[in-house]
Amino acid sequence: MSGETNLAQLLRTLRPVRQPGTYVFCSLPSLAGVDLSECIGMFREAEGPTVILPQATADRLQLPYSYRAAWLTLTVHSSLEAVGLTAAFAQALARAQISCNVVAAYYHDHIFVAATDADRALQVLQELAAQE
């Protein structure tokens, strides 16, 4: 498994960046009519597939959503086997009263926070990195 596993090193080198745009989570009865290449992420739940899309795409497809999010990427290459990273940044964001929805991908962790909280969330994450 590649990527960093040392928690202290991970926290020191979080380097969060905000991806441009606003994103939404949509729960769909099926993926019919959805071009998966436009999706940021997809997960199959018992109730139906959930897709993460740019808000503009969801609006164009007239898909319902209730949560508008900013997409933050931790640019450190974290291992999928790393222990404690999600807990550390989730706790820091929780102390600031910021909810987060996390997607762990092969190279990076991606955090979706309410669009209105994006700047504060970036600040919290940068402060967390500076503490290490």
The DSSP H or E segment spanning 16 is strand 16-18
Tell me: pLDDT of 33 over 90.
no
For the stretch 71-82, pLDDT in tens is 999 999 999 999
| Domains and their CATH numbers in the chain | 7-131 (3.30.2130.10)
The DSSP H or E segment spanning 43 is strand 41-45
Q: Please compute the mean of the pLDDT values over residues 43-62 and round it to a whole number.
A: 96
Q: Residues 102, 111: contact at Cβ < 8 Å? A: yes
Predicted TM-score (pTM) of this structure: 0.94
pLDDT interval class at 2 (50, 70, 90): confident
Paired tokens of 46: 């018992």
For the stretch 65-105, pLDDT in tens is 999 999 999 999 999 999 999 999 999 999 999 999 999 99
Q: Residues 75, 16: contact at Cβ < 8 Å? A: yes
Tell me: pLDDT of 132 over 90.
no
Predicted local confidence at residue 1, as pLDDT = 58
